[in-house]
Amino acid sequence: MGAWNGRYRMTKQSLAVEDSDVLPITILERAQKMERLKDLLVQAIDETLNQIFREEGVSIIYNFLERESQLKREDISSKTEAFSAGLRKLLGSGAPVIEKLILRNLCHQLELKFVQKKGHSFSDYAKELTERFYVKG
């Protein structure tokens, strides 16, 4: 038999869920929240880039990211470091300004206040938001 910690029974081969009515809903809710956050991030990127560069410019940016960084639009939320690097490669010193605007837009959508932290990258903020939403479950 395995160790019991109140919710899970550990065995050598698997993790058996004892309270199956509660856990799957929690996991499903977390997965839905994470997908929603990913969708909101891509939406914030789209909106911000469109406000600055208009449709044609946004198309050029996404084509550049796909060609130079093998990064598709729909993968940006899970590859924020590659997005940031590609944006810097294309826009140089303007990239951090664009990233900050994207983050402000995202925080506005989430009804959060964006607080800039020294030394934090675009990817750091995205990870922080992801952890915050995952932990809150």
CATH topology of domain 30-136: 1.10.1200
| Averaged pLDDT, 107-134 | 88
Per the CB < 8 A criterion, the answer to whether 40 and 61 are in contact is no
**CA nearest 104: which of 121, 116, 93, 94?**
116
> Do 1 and 97 form a contact (C-beta atoms < 8 A)?
no
Each domain of the chain, given as residue ranges in start order, spans 30-136
15's torsion region: left (phi>0), alpha (psi -120 to 50) or beta?
Answer: beta
What is the rounded CA–CA span in Å between residue 18 and residue 15? 9
The predicted pLDDT at position 86 comes to 97
pTM above 0.95, yes or no: no
- Whether the predicted pLDDT of 111 surpasses 60: yes
Note the pLDDT of residue 65.
98
Q: How high is the pLDDT of residue 79? A: 96
Read off the pLDDT of residues 19-63 as tens digits, 9 standing for 90 and up.
444 445 577 777 788 888 999 999 999 999 999 999 999 999 999
Tens of pLDDT along 64-98? 999 999 999 999 999 999 999 999 999 999 999 99
The predicted structure's pLDDT at residue 25? 53
Q: HSE, CB side, 13 Å, CA atoms: give it for residue 72.
A: 2
Confidence at residue 135, expressed as pLDDT on a 0 to 100 scale: 60
Helix boundaries (H) for the chain: 23-69, 80-91, 95-109, 122-136
